Amino acid sequence: MEKREQLYAGKAKSIFKTDDPDHLIMLFRNDTSAFDGKRIEQLDRKGMVNNKFNAFIMGKLQAAGIPTHFVKLLSDTEVLVKTMEMIPVECVVRNLAAGSLVRRLGVQEGLELNPPTFELFLKNDALGDPMVNESHVQSFGWATPEQLARMKELTFKINDILKALFAEGNMLLVDFKVEFGLHKGEVILGDEFSPDGCRLWDKDTREKLDKDRFRQNLGNVVESYEMVGQRLGLTF
């Protein structure tokens, strides 16, 4: 597989063309950002850790029947993925109250949400990724009703799979975001799943093991990511 020109550079990943139009190369960088890119730092080994963590999770999801764009690891920081037409909407599931939900609604952090909530956010850095609803998604043509229903179905299935997986490592899956796209007309999971895009707490102590360690200046960000992986049986 020949790596060609860069197509896109996001906050923590870059996408490159290949000599095969059906496949792209995704590069995980050491960049770590928060607050809509207002704070950016380089954290040693982060790209490698997130790449291997993402590959592990994508493999677990594929084995459980979730269609994803993941194909295979290429190196410590690169992965081969299927070419997709991304849907510009993030799907968020919350099992416990944290982050923006606490700020918006004034509820206590850690409040159990039963049933889990489902939220949608427009992927638009300039607007700060605003929260939207299903009517917005359909009215603005970001996704069809059928595509949106499939995204919601897959997001809740992912929640069930990963809640159980992290529980095996004595962790709580507090919340997470996922992104979807179209590959040959099929809605499939894209982007990544790593501690950058979810909240994970130790079940006993409620210690934060995710990107909140960076946002809240708690330190040992990459070390915590590695510990999460190790609890699941992953080696780096």
Give the C-alpha distances (Å, rounded to integers) separating 154 from 57, 103, 159, 184. Answer: 15, 27, 9, 18
CB 48 within 8 A of CB 77: yes
pTM over 0.85: yes
* pLDDT tens-digit readout, 101-141: 999 999 999 999 999 999 999 999 899 999 999 999 999 99
Proportion of the chain above pLDDT 70, given as a percent: 99
Task: Give the chain's domains with CATH numbers.
Answer: 3-82 (3.30.200.20), 85-220 (3.30.470.20)
Q: In 220-230, which positions are buried (b, 16+ CB within 10 angstroms) versus exposed (e)?
A: ebbebbbbbbe
Which spans in 8-99 are helix H? Answer: 46-63
Determine the pLDDT at residue 37: 65
* pLDDT tens-digit readout, 70-84: 999 999 999 999 999
Match 């850790």 to its residue by tokens.
49
CB 175 within 8 A of CB 92: yes
Q: Given a cut of 80, is residue 36 above it in pLDDT?
A: no
Give the strand order in the sheet containing 3-9: 3-9, 13-18, 23-28, 78-82, 70-73
Distance CA 148, CA 146 (A): 5
The total of other beta-carbon atoms located within 10 Å of residue 57's CB is: 24
Match 């269609």 to its residue by tokens.
67
**What number is the average pLDDT over the span 205-220?**
97
DSSP β-bridge partners for residue 186: 183
